[in-house]
Amino acid sequence: MFTAKRVADKKDWLSGRDHDWEIIIGLEVHAQVASKSKLFSGAATEYGAEPNTQVSLVDAAMPGMLPVVNEFCIEQAVRTGLGLNAQINLYSRFDRKNYFYPDLPQGYQISQFEFPIVGEGEIEIEPEGGEAVIVGIERLHLEQDAGKSIHDLSPDDTFVDLNRSGVCLMEIVSKPDMRSPEEASAYVEKVRGIVRALGTCDGDMEKGNLRADVNVSVRKPGGDLGTRCEIKNVNSMRFIRQAINYEARRQIDILEAGGEIDQETRLFDNAKGETRTMRSKEDAHDYRYFPDPDLLPINITQEFVDGIKANLPELPDARKARFVVDYGIPEYDARILTADKAKGDFYERLAKGRDAKIAANWMMGDLFGALNKASINLDDSPVNSDALGELLDLIGDKTISGKIAKDVFEKMFAGEGGANEIVEREGLKQVTDTGAIEKMVQDVIDANADQAAKVADNPRLVGFFVGQVMKASGGKANPQAVNEILRKKLGL
C-alpha cells in the first residue's frame, strides 16, 4: 500500500473553504523503446508510415502466430532501470492482460504484471522554484502498445491502424511522491532526460513516444490519502501541469460540497483544459492476468547487467556535477544545461576552448529565448553550436561588442548568414583605433560644452558622454577605450 509521508511545501498548498489542501501525484510514464522492430515481431516501428503497412502476422494476431521476444528491448529496459537507480530483476515474466477492443488484435496485451524486469529505484528532481525532491520509482515493465482506432474518418465506421500494435513500451511507475504540478512536470522532464541520455527512448512527446498517465488525489495537508483519479495519456509538460491543476481543483470542489470522489479514469481535453470521465470504477475490466504460455520467463544474468552498467553513458545528474566543476558555472545553469542530452552536448561543443560562463549565458539567454519564441527545438535550431561559437569568438577577440553581438545573433537566427559574414557585410567591427575614438570624443565634448563643465561636480555624467559617443559610432566603438579617453579628456 502506498503511503505518502512528505507534506507539500506550503507554497504548493491550494486554498480551500475551511482549510488548505495538498495534491498527491503519482505518474505512469509510457516510453516507447527506441527499437527498429517491435517487442515480439520483426515489423518496423517507424513513425508516420501509411496505415497498416508495418504489421506482421503476429501483430495482426493471425491464427497460430507466436510472439518471440526482441532481446534488444530487454536490454533497453535494463539500461533504463540502471539509469533510474533501480533494482534489476534477473527473473521476470510476461503476462497476458485480457480485454476486447478492435485495436487489440490478440484480445490480450502482453505485459509484465507480477514480475516486472525492473523494481524499485529513485531519482532526484529539481522543480522550478522549489527544493530538490527524491521521487521513488515503483517499477518499470515492458509491454506491447495497442493499435490505433480512428473514429473521425467516417460518421459510421471506426478504422484501425495496426502499425503501432506490438511496439515496445516501457511503463515507468512512480511512487505517489509528487506534491505539485511543477514537481510532476519536473519528474517527467527528468525521466525524459534520463531515457534520452541513455538512448533507450527518443522522448518525443509530440509523436506520443513518451506520454504520461497522471494519478491525482487531494488531502488535508499531511492527512489521510484521498481517492485518486487517473488521467490518461497526457502528452506535454504544460498539459501535465494544466491537467493536475484542473483535476485538483475539481476534486476540492466536490469534497467541499460534501461529495465523494469516484475512483475513475479520466481524459484530458487539451483544447478546453479540462479533464472528463472516460470510465468509472464499475466499468473497470477484470483483466484476468496470467503468465503468457507462449513465452518463456526472462532470465538474465548479473554479468549481463554488469556489462550494461559498465557501458552506460553519463547521466544528467553526473553531467550536472561535472559541469559545475569543469566549467565553473552555477548549479542552476548546470541543471538547465544537462536536463536534456541535446542541450548538454550543444553546451559542451560551445564551451570548448571558450569562456564557459559566457557560453552558458548565451545559450540560456539569447539562444533559448529565441528558440522558445519561435517554438523550435534545440535540435532544429537555425544557429548550431559552431555558428554560435563563431559569434562568441568575435566577442572574445573584441571584434564586436556584446551589444552588437545580440543584433548579429538575431540576424543569424533569421538565417541571414554566419557571424563573420554579417559583421563584415554590415561593417559592425568594433572601432579600437584610438585616433578615431579620440575624434569622436572630442566632437561630443565640443557639442555638449555645458555638460562637460558640470562633470567635475557630477562624475555620473560620464555615462551620458559614453552613450553619446557610442551612438555616434553606431555602437561600434570599443566601450573600454571610449571610457578611458573620455575620462582623460574630461580631466577625471
Binding site for another protein (CB under 8 A): 57, 60-69, 96, 98, 100, 102, 105-108, 158, 160, 286, 288-290, 293-296
Tell the smallest beta-carbon distance from residue 161 to another protein (Å). Answer: 13
The owner of cell 534545440 is: 378
Distance CA 391, CA 131 (A): 36
Q: 73 or 412, CB closer to another protein?
A: 73
Q: 1 or 325, CB closer to another protein?
A: 1
Q: 61 or 387, CB closer to another protein?
A: 61
Q: Which grid cell is 307?
A: 556489462
Q: How many CB atoms lie within 10 A of CB 229?
A: 21
Distance CA 474, CA 471 (A): 5
Q: 55 or 84, CB closer to another protein?
A: 55
Distance CA 146, CA 161 (A): 10
Q: At what angle do helices 71-83 and 302-310 cross, to 10 degrees?
A: 70
Q: What are phi and psi of 169, to 5 degrees?
A: -115, 150
Q: 154 or 375, CB closer to another protein?
A: 154
Apex 123 CA angle, 119 and 125, nearest 5 = 150
Q: What is the dihedral of CA 261, 266, 268, 272, to 10 degrees?
A: -60
Q: What is the DSSP string of 128-161?
A: TTS--EEEEEEEEEEEE---EEE-SS-SS--EEE
Tell the smallest beta-carbon distance from residue 60 to another protein (Å). Answer: 6
Tell the smallest beta-carbon distance from residue 221 to another protein (Å). Answer: 35
Tell the smallest beta-carbon distance from residue 99 to another protein (Å). Answer: 9
Tell the smallest beta-carbon distance from residue 146 to another protein (Å). Answer: 13
SS3 91: strand
Q: Write down how long the chain is.
A: 492
Tell the smallest beta-carbon distance from residue 262 to another protein (Å). Answer: 20
Q: 132 or 296, CB closer to another protein?
A: 296
